[in-house]
Structure 1
Amino acid sequence: MDKNIVDIGKLSDKVLLFGGVYSNLQALEALIAVAESEGIPPENCICTGDIIGYCAQPEETIQTFKNWNARIIVGNVEIQLRDDEDDCGCDFREGSRCDGFSQQWYPYAKSKLSKDSLDYLDTIPDHIQFTIGNQKVTVVHGSYFNVSEFIFKSTPWTTKHSNFEATESDIIIAGHCGLPFENKNNNKRWINPGVIGMPANDGKPNVWFAILDNSVKPLQVNLRKLDYNHTLTNKLMLNGLLPESYAKTIVTGIWDNMEILPEPEKQQQGKPIEL
């Protein structure tokens, strides 16, 4: 099937980048407040996908995002919900803890979404492209080739390089893996702004996003922490229908398990993220 790629043209000044809202309404509201305080318009705010996920307010989160009018590409969760599939498409190993937990939160999310929200998912493209300064940027979820591919900072550059070749890009903005990082090689930059719906396994309840800043030269990427009302998010998740382990992660900042992580990322659990 042909990809739906939307070119939004040339962007200037600041671009706010984030991923994985994961039905976390409180984090989304806090991020919108940051965008407003920084003077970043909605059309310069881009999500790498997975509006829906582990937390308790999927319908409210989609509607808030839709009304904000920011930009987004599909994550695996949007694709699965849009296509009325029975699982999240996260590419978790069958029988793993993540796979088991997804059999709780995905049906919960699916049961809460209105027709209007499902119709909105049909409007979301596979990828967004834009230019900033003299740099061509492509936004992907996992990778350009596989929406569910986990790519981390430690992932070999050869894997990343094929994405730059296929898209003829200078910068790739990606999501899915849940951890913020920037990786540079031969004037190419792979940027994962992190996710705002869950902590980054660093032992802190705050979450992560990034601002691409073209108001200074050279182009800067600022990975930033986001504080929000995580206590309320945790409370709402303790409804007997969602994994309590994920509710605990919201508060502790420690992942329940590290099944998806390569060894270098596993070694960083509970440690401050080095940028």
Structure 2
Amino acid sequence: MDKKIEHINIQGKVLLFGGVYSNLQALEKLKNIAEKNNIPPENCICTGDIVGYCAQPEETVQLFKLWGAKSIAGNVEIQLREGAEDCGCDFKKGSRCDGFSQLWYPYAQSKLSKSSLDFIKELPDHIRFTHAGKKTTVVHGSWFNISEFIFKSTPWKVKQPNFEASNSDIIIAGHCGLPFHQTENKKTWINPGVIGMPANDGNPQVWYAILDDTDGKPSITHRTMDYNHKLTSNLMRNGLLPEEYARTIITGIWDNTEILPPVESGLQGFGVQL
């Protein structure tokens, strides 16, 4: 199937984020940050998974539409628009994450209006733009696989083919849930992190990033964000969503590290290593 790619013209500061995960309170706060920093909606780019683990999928999609920020489709959006029975997250069958997805994914499906589903159906697979002379492509997991988990510790030989296939200098990716950036061979892989869940660092704050071309060359700054996480957690304690995810919103610690490579798993609770 041909990829749907949106080409945009962009300059100045770009706000990058991923995994809103139906976390309305986090999205409200990020929108406020963008407005206070005079970053226009068209310069705010999400790596996908607007919908996910938290309690307000419909409200979150509608606010995203109202804001006018850009996003690609994450695996969750792909599955929702196709009416699939699971989230397509590539969790190991029978794992705790797989079990939890059998709670939150049907919940999200049941809450989304036709208006929200129509919006989701229009999301591109990738966004492309040139920033400070660098060809930049936004992917969810990878260029080849929307559900591929790519972390900082993932060997560069796994990342390199993505640049070649997409003809990119910079790749902005999501899906793995942890922020990092890495440069090799004059190519840069950026994951801004997600705003819908903490980064398994023992802190309820969530992560986003700013890409800036003020000096004529791209620079990346990772930032954390406080928001009303207690309200988010309380709304998730509705008897329909995993209690463990509601707890993670508060503690900043993931219930399990099933998807993580040994390096990232070993850093649980010790903070994000940028």
* TM superposition score normalised by structure 1: 0.99
In 2, the alpha carbon distance for the partners of 1:42 and 1:181 equals: 23
State whether residues 133 and 217 of structure 2, in contact with CA within 8 Å, keep that contact through their aligned partners in structure 1.
no
State whether residues 171 and 188 of structure 1, in contact with CA within 8 Å, keep that contact through their aligned partners in structure 2.
yes
Other structure's SS at 1:143 match:
coil
State whether residues 132 and 216 of structure 2, in contact with CA within 8 Å, keep that contact through their aligned partners in structure 1.
no
In 2, the alpha carbon distance for the partners of 1:115 and 1:203 equals: 37
Other structure's SS at 1:247 match:
helix
Once the 2 structures are TM-superposed, how far is the Cα of residue 272 of structure 1 from its aligned partner? 1.7
Once the 2 structures are TM-superposed, how far is the Cα of residue 217 of structure 1 from its aligned partner? 4.3
AA aligned to 1:137 is T
In 2, the alpha carbon distance for the partners of 1:62 and 1:218 equals: 33
State whether residues 4 and 125 of structure 2, in contact with CA within 8 Å, keep that contact through their aligned partners in structure 1.
yes
State whether residues 18 and 47 of structure 1, in contact with CA within 8 Å, keep that contact through their aligned partners in structure 2.
yes
In 2, the alpha carbon distance for the partners of 1:196 and 1:6 equals: 23
Other structure's SS at 1:17 match:
strand
In 2, the alpha carbon distance for the partners of 1:216 and 1:29 equals: 30
Q: Equivalent residue for 2:105?
A: 106
Q: Equivalent residue for 1:186?
A: 185
AA aligned to 2:99 is G
In 1, the alpha carbon distance for the partners of 2:253 and 2:215 equals: 35
Q: Equivalent residue for 1:3?
A: 3
In 1, the alpha carbon distance for the partners of 2:78 and 2:12 equals: 31
State whether residues 12 and 215 of structure 1, in contact with CA within 8 Å, keep that contact through their aligned partners in structure 2.
no
Matches within 5 A, 1:1-275: 1-9=1-9, 11-275=10-274
AA aligned to 1:70 is A
In 2, the alpha carbon distance for the partners of 1:273 and 1:51 equals: 23
Other structure's SS at 1:35 match:
helix
In 2, the alpha carbon distance for the partners of 1:130 and 1:237 equals: 37
Other structure's SS at 1:77 match:
helix
Once the 2 structures are TM-superposed, how far is the Cα of residue 30 of structure 1 from its aligned partner? 0.3
Identical residues among aligned pairs (%): 68
Other structure's SS at 1:202 match:
coil
In 1, the alpha carbon distance for the partners of 2:18 and 2:224 equals: 13
Flag structure 2 segments of 5+ consecutive residues without an equivalent.
none
Count the aligned residue pairs. 274
Once the 2 structures are TM-superposed, how far is the Cα of residue 222 of structure 1 from its aligned partner? 0.4
Which stretch has the larger CA shift, 208-217 or 188-197? 208-217
Q: Deviations over 1:125-148 (max 9, x none)?
A: 000000011100000000000000
In 2, the alpha carbon distance for the partners of 1:218 and 1:91 equals: 36
* TM superposition score normalised by structure 2: 0.99
Once the 2 structures are TM-superposed, how far is the Cα of residue 216 of structure 1 from its aligned partner? 2.7
In 2, the alpha carbon distance for the partners of 1:245 and 1:274 equals: 25
Q: Deviations over 1:149-191 (max 9, x none)?
A: 0000000101100000001100000000000000110111000
In 2, the alpha carbon distance for the partners of 1:74 and 1:12 equals: 23
Flag structure 1 segments of 5+ consecutive residues without an equivalent.
none
AA aligned to 2:147 is S
Once the 2 structures are TM-superposed, how far is the Cα of residue 75 of structure 1 from its aligned partner? 0.2
Q: Deviations over 1:20-79 (max 9, x none)?
A: 000000000000001001100000000000000000000000000011011000000000
Other structure's SS at 1:20 match:
coil
Other structure's SS at 1:55 match:
coil
Once the 2 structures are TM-superposed, how far is the Cα of residue 273 of structure 1 from its aligned partner? 1.2
Other structure's SS at 1:212 match:
strand
State whether residues 21 and 53 of structure 1, in contact with CA within 8 Å, keep that contact through their aligned partners in structure 2.
yes
